[in-house]
Amino acid sequence: MVMTMPPDSRREELARYLEGSSKPVAVSDLATHLGVTVRTVLRDVEELRARGYEIVGARGRGGGLRLVAREDDTPELVLADRRTEPDAGQARQRRRPVFVGREAELRALLDAFGEVRAGAGRVVMLAGEPGIGKTGVVQQLSDRIGGDAAQLYWGRCYESEGALPYWPWLQVINAYASATATDLLREEMGEGASDIAEMAPDLHVTLSGLERPTMSDTPEAARFRLFRSIAQFVSRAAEKSPLVLILEDLHWADRPSLLLLEFLAGELADSPVLLIGTYRDVELNRRHPLAQTLAELNRQQHFLRMTLRGLEEEEVGRIVALASGQKPSPELVVSLHRQTEGNPLFVTEMVSLLREEGGFSNGEARADVLLSERIPEGVREAIGRRLDRLSNAANTVLRVASVMGREFTIQEARRLRAGLPEMIPDSGVGLDVEILPALEEALRAGIIERNVRELASYQFTHSMIRDTLYDELTTPERVGLHRLAGEAIETIHGAHLDPHLSGLAHHFLEAAQAGNPDRAVHYAERAGDRTVEMVAFEEGSRLYGMALQALQLCPSGQMTGNDVS
């Protein structure tokens, strides 16, 4: 048995061991062979996968891991200790879309970062329609200033109503905590650690011995104390090196998250912190919560807002050339630019479809594979036709998983698929034999990608792909799947449901029209209580409203749970 090997050597040994085995190897056997825990083995597997090793399989009875292949350009392993690498919340490793243009926007972001390095705080918002390249621009900035120049952490708002309050901030705080030595983290959080732990309960595990803060006289005082504690923590954390916090999809943000953003923007003007947010301006109107936040931020001298527009024809041509490997004809470039209005995602989707359907011939594209000139419908058609090229099993697994949102785990997909046998008749060969190859097929097609924040977890490469799949479900299928999603969360997370209460309330309320609304009442009320404890009063009000909505669906005279009033 190999004992206490350095992580790079251990992963080399893991790859060699799997490569030399003619049959799947149980994870527990791998852990014994390497002298580590099962969790360490699974983390090492994800590291190998991120570097081009195709490893399939999973834990479970009759399961195991198998090395299928290695990409031709995968280098020999030279892996650093995980503790010195960017954590899941830091600069993300993922399959990158083609990136072209945006020199002016990148220069503005680099200038803002230069001011941050000089000690001044900056807030930048990137706006634009879906697929316009907001994330790509920020990722390019991350690549250019990464390394020792800055600490980068990402948070993304969740598009459904099932997210915890402060969700993007929780991702940032938890990622920073996991990448920081405990003693240093305790010092940086200072006396505010107990307040922050009420919002981010995982800190009670990381920083043992934290006491519950004393209750303030008013909700406003409690919120001020929490926000001040976070501001002081962020300011201290930035003393080591400039801190870059990236919050994606703020059009989906809950009101407490936006209030915290407003507070930090005002408090960190003299700290080396760069706050970057992205949002879809097409989602906003003057009553949208983010519109109010933008108005507040606009009062700050250190605030910058940029709106991304469509690419020029020449830039569209460069995308086509990079994505297809062929020099496109001028006619094709003009046609694609007219149809997509220069939206990079739309261009890439259409090029992928043209390539898959044999539409390229010396740079020319057949007329019968050019898509509708109505952009939203055309792109949905392009996505749909790409999905059509996947197997029926892959499409079904993806449609089922779309109920969970943009992100889902193998466990969740397995339970949802097993709960609706009428959608996929049971072949008798076992779920993993169907689900795992289906996910691998979708990975190879670029429909989903592995979620680096969580083991055995995936996410759709763009929310539009998830929306297309979800919209294909019939109403009865949605109702049934939301019920199964809630039950899956109950089973998987068992006694640790607090982080999932809002999601449970959402799923069971969506399923309540088919009966049994009492679970929606129960979880919405519990979630409301928990969010009030987290000083997220607006979310608490919304969740209590969900409880009342579900309560109205209960049979007359049958009251469930506590008195929601």
> Is the per-residue pLDDT at 550 higher than 70?
yes
Cite the beta strand spans of 9-164 per DSSP E.
Answer: 53-58, 64-70, 122-127, 151-156
The helix-helix angle for 410-419 and 431-444 (nearest 10°) equals 120
Per-residue pLDDT, 185? 93
Per-residue pLDDT, 55? 75
HSE-CB of 86 using CA atoms within 13 angstroms: 21
Closest by CA to 481, choosing from 454, 517, 508, 445, is 508
How many residues are recorded in the chain? Answer: 565
Q: Which residues lie closer than 8 Å to 307 by C-beta, 6 or more apart? A: 126, 127, 128, 281
CA distances from 226 to 66, 198, 275, 392, 463 (A): 47, 9, 19, 49, 32
Per-residue pLDDT, 204? 86
Per-residue pLDDT, 420? 66
> Is the per-residue pLDDT at 409 higher than 70?
yes
Kindly report which listed range (123-132, 254-263, 420-429) carries the lowest average pLDDT score.
Answer: 420-429
pLDDT, one tens digit per residue, over 457-476 is 898 887 778 888 998 888 88
HSE-CB of 375 using CA atoms within 13 angstroms: 18
pLDDT, one tens digit per residue, over 44-79 is 787 787 677 777 653 332 346 767 665 544 433 332
More confident residue, 24 or 343: 343
pLDDT, one tens digit per residue, over 535-544 is 888 888 888 8
Per-residue pLDDT, 338? 79
Amino acid identity of residue 386, one-letter, is: R
pTM of structure: 0.65
If you ran DSSP here, which 8-state letter would residue 369 be given?
Answer: G
**245: enclosing H helix or E strand:** strand 243-248
Give the Cα separation of 263 and 245 in Å (integer): 14
CB atoms within 10 A of CB 119: 11
User: What's the whole-number average pLDDT of the chain?
Assistant: 79
Angle at 464 between CA 249 and CA 478, to 5 degrees: 105
Tell how many helices (H) and how many strands (E) occur in the chain: 24, 12
3-state secondary structure of 54: strand
If you ran DSSP here, which 8-state letter would residue 366 be given?
Answer: -
**382: enclosing H helix or E strand:** helix 375-388
Per-residue pLDDT, 94? 40
pLDDT, one tens digit per residue, over 93-141 is 344 567 888 889 999 999 999 999 999 999 999 999 888 889 889 988 9
